[in-house]
Structure 1
Amino acid sequence: MRFATVAHGGRTVAAVVARDRVHELPDRTVADLVASGLAAALEAGGAALAGPGVPLADVTLALPYRPASVRDFVTFESHVEGVRRSVEGAAGVPSAWYDAPTFYFTNPHALYGPGAAIRRPAHSRALDFELEVGVVLGRDGASLSEAEAHDAIFGYTVVNDWSARDLQAREMQVGLGPAKGKDFATSIGPWLVTADELAPRLDGSGRLDLDCRVSVNGVPIGRDRLAHMHWTFPQLIAYASRDSVVRAGDLLASGTTGGGGCLAELWGRRGSQDPPPLEPGDEVVMRVEGIGELAGTVADDAGGRG
């Protein structure tokens, strides 16, 4: 099932998207559905499907929901190798990367939905995208086992971790991790696809095997399979919860896919900024099989955010 937040008829409401129609869930938000747990959300969504709905083309998709916490991991080996060369000027993959699925916390207040315009940071001229898939938790937990973490998954969405590579390259020399190079914008959407919907796409190792692609202004840039993650989503969740707490609604992103899931990976491999950094007016479109399409544009530097 696909849960979205839509603007229609002067209202912004939660809805179930089924094929090309939208079925409203009055008096509920997607955050409410997530907090209720997967079983209850599916029951509510099933009841909504009994109505006639409206055409998907007649509504505007908004930010699906606003998670209180966003952890962004780095789970694709080829991405690490390419971006490390581009951003840090170093070769190879650090041995410590293989020890555990490392993550950082990004800004939950700077989240944007499908089609939103993202303003390039004023002091950056190396704007980049990152193609990722996010997992959404449907229950609270602490020090979860992998089996418990698997059962805690509510669903998945597409994530674009916008990145200012020139700012990131400088600040990471301090050794604390990305800050202003990452905290200005993260796009998520177009909706949340529930875990049961994608369960048939789990491979023998417990990884989702989905085709992931990204293009800029209609030109294909990168392609990879989500199954190339070094760790599974339950392993990410279990690690995040170790000696700590996770909550229903928390978003945990896979980290950037390889194969050109961001420009910086290609810059590191080619030794030059080819393709060039994003500029105002550019449109980035990400498509993940079984989940959907997330588009975003780069706004004029002097303009506002969408």
Structure 2
Amino acid sequence: MRFATYEYEGVEHAGVVRDGVVHPLPVSVLELVEGEALHSAGAEALRRTSGLTVAQVKLLPPLKPPSIRDFVGFEAHIEGVSKSLDGLEHVPEEWYRAPAFYFTNPHAGYGPNDDVPIPAGCSVLDFELEVGAVIGRGGRDLTPEQAREHIVGYLVFNDWSARDLQKPEKNLGLGFSKGKDFANTLGPYLVTADEVADRRDADGFLDLEMTVTLNGELIGRDTLANMSWTFEEMVAYASRDAWVRPGDVLGSGTCGWGALAEFWGRLGERTPPPLKPGDEVTLTVERLGTLSNRIVPGRCDVYLPRARKRGRTPRP
């Protein structure tokens, strides 16, 4: 099933979508996930006739996740970006040791067709083509085998990046802040795990084609099966000594050729150039759907308070 959150006549609703028809649900997608009632509520809604179509509504992010962990699961991506951002000619050895992730902003969600403004102070804006796994049942210290039962579904995920803000933030060793927390696009639907189960290969990876176009031109293609860890392994790692909760999103990391920074690293020049107002970025993942966002101008003012230098005289 495909679950959506949408705006219709100025009011936010949730629904299950089949053949372009939206069948309304009585509560939010997140509430259904938390109650482990997604499938039963969806089946009941589909039994009711609806005259509402996807073309009549404004799609919003399918749910409001309590948290978003974003992994870096594709070797090809880390190879290209490491060269672009850090000047490295190889993948750092630390990357191979465990599926690393960072927490990004769950309150910065944009819908699958929303305009995305350039963040203040940014002149090197980039997209990132990913898939997010959605947790359907809470758990802690899970094995990969157990983790499969805790994934309720998947969605397309664009982890927008302000590369010029991101790079100096890395020097402090605290992770990303304003280089990452301004926007992420989720959607168009939460597609339940059973919808893609037949595309799982012998090693547990989902073989789903991933593509990105810029202004209508295809510039990147990969398959989700090229991840170096399965989603189950990443969920298990995330749950080590910690809880994963219903509605949490775990990003796959950007696929190979799924971000402009990869091109810059591999080609040694900013071709294609950073995103600018008017550019349209379209991400498509087989079975999961399409996100298409246009870049628009953002704020021109930048609030950037510098630290006050303090003396080192100890207090008496």
Give me the TM-score of the superposition, normalised by structure 1: 0.95
Task: Report the more deviating stretch, 249-258 or 6-15.
Answer: 6-15
Provide the aligned C-alpha RMSD in A: 1.2
Deviations 1:167-205 (A, max 9, x none): 111221223322221111111010100011111111111
In structure 2, give the amino acid aligned to 1:263: L
Deviation at 1:243, TM superposition (A): 1.0
Counterpart of 1:218? 216
Look up the equivalent residue of 2:22 and give its one-letter code: V
Indicate yes or no: 2:180 matched with 1:182: yes
Task: Give, in angstroms, the shift of residue 282 of structure 1.
Answer: 1.1
- DSSP 3-state at the match of 2:32: helix
Q: 1:83-138 CA distances to partner (integer Å, 9 max, x unpaired)?
A: 01101111110111111100000011111111122211221111000000000000
2: distance between equivalents of 1:83 and 1:218? 24
Equivalent residue of 2:196, what SS? Answer: helix
What is the match of residue 109 of structure 1?
107
Q: 2:29 touches 2:38 (CA, 8 Å); kept in 1?
A: no
Measure, in 1, the Cα distance between the counterparts of 2:109 and 2:273: 25
Q: What secondary structure does 2:88 align onto?
A: coil
1:275 to 272, 277, 282: 272
Question: Structure 1 residue 6: deviation in Å?
Answer: 1.6
- Check the 8 A contact 2:142/2:239 in 1, yes or no: yes
Q: Do residues 36 (structure 1) and 35 (structure 2) align? A: yes
TM-score (norm 2): 0.92
Distance 1:2 1:269 in 2: 37
C-alpha contact 2:119 2:299 (8 A) present in aligned 1: no
Amino acid at match of 1:283: E
Q: Is the 8 A contact 1:87 1:168 kept in 2?
A: no
Contact 1:156-1:193 at 8 Å conserved across structures: yes
Query: What 5-or-longer segments of structure 1 have no aligned partner?
Result: none
Q: CA deviation at 1:302?
A: 4.2
Count of residues in Structure 1 that have an aligned counterpart in Structure 2: 299
Percent of matched pairs sharing the same residue: 53
CA contact (8 A) 2:118 2:299 kept: no
The whole-number CA distance in structure 2 between the counterparts of 1:43 and 1:246 is 23
Residue number among 142, 145, 158 corresponding to 2:143 in the alignment: 145
2:120 corresponds, among 109, 122, 139, to: 122
Q: Following the alignment from structure 1 to structure 2, what is the Cα–Cα distance between the partners of residues 18 and 127? A: 35
| Runs of 5+ unmatched residues, structure 2 | 301-316
Question: Bigger radius of gyration, 1 or 2?
Answer: 2
1:52-76 alpha-carbon deviations (Å, 9 max, x no partner): 2222211211121111110000010
- Matches of 1:96 and 1:302 in 2, distance apart? 37
User: 2:203 is matched with which residue: 190, 205, 225?
Assistant: 205
